[in-house]
């Protein structure tokens, strides 16, 4: 028969073999997870590389304003047209963007006017070789004898009108119409590409900002430090010199500035209390829970401020106020401001609204982290007391027992109890101290 030590050794070997197999399985799973993460990271890197390649290709294009200006000048210069103008549709009216030659009758032309409004409405070109023979009233400047208007299509939709004029009857004909239609098509595609570039830039800006904020969510431990980082990220994303974060107090009667970013010297506004009563901007944010953009507002400087010393009685400021929401309730605001001329576009406002949700998630994460940390501290303190007290009593009883008459054998046993009890107490203290160290702390 197999001896007991051999059987024990075999059982121990079997247990270790099973444990090794389990560790190997877990290691294999970890490798698979790592490979999946690495693959995802590689895909993200490749996507960013492709995005950078697209940005590089379209980066050679100019802004829409420059495209329209160069188009106006090149059409007039290359084809010798005495009057060229380009209009874009805005809020139901044609707005003159650039023009050369004859002064147009108005910078803004209603969509029902002829010939420009007719072309914008129908999407069909219009050629009038002799305006004197045209039966309807034409909204043209004095001395215009022949005109051609071609629709400017961007993304398949009429976005404006390209217009040429001449003071000579029959000076413009079908060849000019063909040329203008071709030029208008190329111009529309250039504008579309440039707008696509702007969309990609906004997408990249939003993605980068959201990624930075998500990293804050993942590692957030301190509210003020996290909000300081968010303020700096927002200042970079929106190109403004100052960003602040204010949170409502418990009774929602005032906000206190808890974080800020500013790229110029000046006094800090952290700790400033902003009453809600009488503050229309804050009241509007709380009521509507939507961003509010105000551009180039007059701002009276404080006495002794630098703007007054320089002789400027009234300065200007542009603001974008973003509500911070938790469970659809406003708990504060993020304010972006610039003392220089700055217009917050609808895309900026939409981005700010999306970011406000992320900021709310960050604050929710911070509050949850603080609550869990507090509960853990209270649990450890309670557990430390409940476990240490009995051990202290055992050690105390042993010390009293050592003061009584004992035989050598009894004293040796009691000493063993005392030594092990003190070692147990020391080990428990170390365990509780380690449990209080937060994950990631040095």
Start-to-end CA distance of the chain, whole Å, equals: 56
Residue 108: per-residue pLDDT:
61
378 in the same domain as 360: no
CATH of the domain at 150: 3.30.450.40
Write down which residue in 41, 58, 75 finishes a domain: 58
Query: Going residue by residue through the chain (442 aa), what tens digit of pLDDT does each one get?
Result: 456 776 777 777 777 777 777 777 888 888 888 887 777 777 556 544 543 443 343 344 557 777 787 778 777 877 778 898 989 988 778 888 888 886 555 556 665 678 888 898 889 999 999 988 888 888 887 888 999 999 999 988 999 998 999 989 999 988 888 878 887 887 887 788 777 766 666 677 667 776 776 676 566 566 777 788 888 888 887 888 889 989 888 888 999 998 898 887 767 888 999 899 888 888 888 888 888 888 777 665 444 444 443 444 446 688 888 888 888 888 888 888 887 767 787 878 887 777 777 777 777 777 777 777 777 777 777 777 777 788 788 888 888 888 888 888 888 888 888 888 888 888 887 777 776 655 444 4
In a domain, 77, yes or no: yes
**CA 428/CA 431 separation, integer angstroms:** 5
Query: Taking a C-beta distance cutoff of 8 angstroms, is the pair 424, 394 a contact?
Result: no
344 in the same domain as 240: yes
- Residue 301 is classified by DSSP as P
Residue 62: per-residue pLDDT:
59
Give the DSSP H or E segment for 84.
Answer: strand 83-90
Query: Taking a C-beta distance cutoff of 8 angstroms, is the pair 377, 436 a contact?
Result: yes
Laid out side by side, the sheet with 126-128 consists of: 108-110, 93-100, 83-90, 157-166, 146-154, 126-128
**What does the CA dihedral 371, 372, 378, 379 come to, rounded to 10 degrees?**
150
* 58: CB partners within 8 A, 6+ apart: 193, 194, 196, 197, 200
360 in the same domain as 237: yes
Rounded alpha-carbon distances, angstroms, from residue 149 to 120, 126, 177, 272, 436: 9, 5, 8, 58, 77
In a domain, 204, yes or no: no
Query: Taking a C-beta distance cutoff of 8 angstroms, is the pair 195, 203 a contact?
Result: no
Peptide bond into 115 cis (omega under 30): yes
Give the DSSP H or E segment for 405.
Answer: none
Give the distance from CA 297 to its chain's centroid.
Answer: 24
**CA 395/CA 237 separation, integer angstroms:** 63
**CA 70/CA 64 separation, integer angstroms:** 10
Query: Taking a C-beta distance cutoff of 8 angstroms, is the pair 165, 146 a contact?
Result: yes
In a domain, 209, yes or no: no
* Best CA proximity match to 336, nearest among 197, 220, 209, 211: 209
In a domain, 345, yes or no: yes
**CA 332/CA 360 separation, integer angstroms:** 9
344 in the same domain as 241: yes
Rg (CA), the chain: 37
105 in the same domain as 23: no
Place of tokens 């976005």: 159
Residue 351: per-residue pLDDT:
79
In a domain, 211, yes or no: no
Residue 367, token pair as written in the block: 């509050």
Residue 158: per-residue pLDDT:
92
349 in the same domain as 260: yes
350 in the same domain as 279: yes
* Best CA proximity match to 319, nearest among 332, 334, 330: 334
Number of domains making up the chain: 4
Domain residues for the domain of 2 are 1-58
Residue 220: per-residue pLDDT:
57
In a domain, 155, yes or no: yes
Write down which residue in 320, 347, 364 finishes a domain: 364
227 in the same domain as 335: yes
**To 10 degrees, what angle do helices 174-219 and 4-58 make?**
150
168 in the same domain as 286: no
* Best CA proximity match to 102, nearest among 144, 59, 53: 144
According to DSSP, the residues that pair with 88 across neighbouring strands are 95, 160
145 in the same domain as 119: yes
Write down which residue in 58, 77, 92 finishes a domain: 58
113 in the same domain as 33: no
In a domain, 252, yes or no: yes
In a domain, 212, yes or no: no
According to DSSP, the residues that pair with 73 across neighbouring strands are none
List alpha helices for 126-279, DSSP H.
174-219, 223-238
131 in the same domain as 239: no
Residue 127, token pair as written in the block: 């050629």
* 298: CB partners within 8 A, 6+ apart: 314, 315, 316
């Amino acid at each position: 028969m197999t001896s007991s030590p051999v059987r024990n050794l075999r059982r121990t070997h079997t247990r270790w073999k099973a444990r090794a197999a389990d560790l190997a399985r877990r290691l294999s799973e970890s490798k698979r997870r790592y490979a999946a993460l690495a693959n995802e990271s590689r895909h993200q890197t490749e996507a960013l590389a492709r995005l950078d390649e697209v940005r590089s290709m379209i980066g050679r294009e100019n802004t829409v304003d420059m495209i329209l200006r160069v188009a106006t000048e090149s059409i007039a210069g290359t084809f010798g047209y005495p009057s060229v103008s380009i209009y874009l549709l805005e809020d139901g009216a044609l707005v003159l963007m650039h023009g050369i030659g004859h002064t147009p009758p108005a910078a803004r032309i209603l969509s029902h006017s002829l010939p420009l409004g007719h072309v914008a409405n129908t999407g069909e070109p219009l050629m009038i070789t002799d305006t004197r023979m045209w039966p309807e009233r034409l909204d043209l400047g004095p001395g215009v004898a022949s005109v051609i208007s071609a629709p400017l299509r961007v993304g398949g939709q009429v976005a404006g009108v390209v217009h040429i004029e001449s003071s000579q009857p029959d000076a413009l004909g079908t060849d000019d119409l063909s040329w203008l239609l071709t030029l208008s098509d190329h111009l529309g595609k250039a504008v579309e590409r440039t707008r696509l570039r702007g969309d990609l830039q906004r997408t990249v800006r939003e993605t980068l900002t959201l990624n930075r904020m998500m990293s804050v969510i993942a590692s957030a431990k301190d509210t003020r430090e996290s909000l300081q980082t968010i303020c700096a990220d927002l200042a970079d994303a929106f190109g403004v010199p100052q960003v602040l974060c204010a949170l409502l107090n418990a009774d929602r009667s005032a906000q206190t500035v808890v974080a800020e970013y500013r790229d110029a010297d000046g006094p800090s506004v952290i700790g400033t209390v902003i009453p809600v009563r009488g503050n229309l901007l804050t009241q509007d944010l709380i009521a509507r829970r939507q961003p509010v953009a105000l551009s180039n507002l007059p701002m009276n400087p404080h006495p002794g401020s630098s703007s007054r010393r320089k002789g400027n009685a009234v300065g200007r400021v542009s603001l974008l106020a973003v509500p911070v929401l938790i469970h659809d309730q406003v708990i504060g605001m993020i304010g972006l401001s610039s003392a220089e001329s700055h217009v917050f576009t609808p895309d900026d406002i939409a981005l700010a609204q999306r970011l406000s949700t992320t900021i709310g998630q960050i604050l929710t994460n911070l509050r949850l982290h603080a609550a869990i940390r507090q509960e853990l501290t209270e649990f450890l303190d309670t557990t430390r007391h409940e476990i240490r007290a009995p051990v202290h009593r055992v050690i105390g009883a042993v010390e009293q027992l050592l003061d009584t008459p004992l035989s050598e054998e009894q004293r040796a046993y009691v000493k063993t109890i005392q030594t092990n009890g003190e070692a147990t107490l020391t080990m428990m203290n170390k365990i509780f101290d380690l449990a209080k160290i937060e994950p990631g702390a040095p």
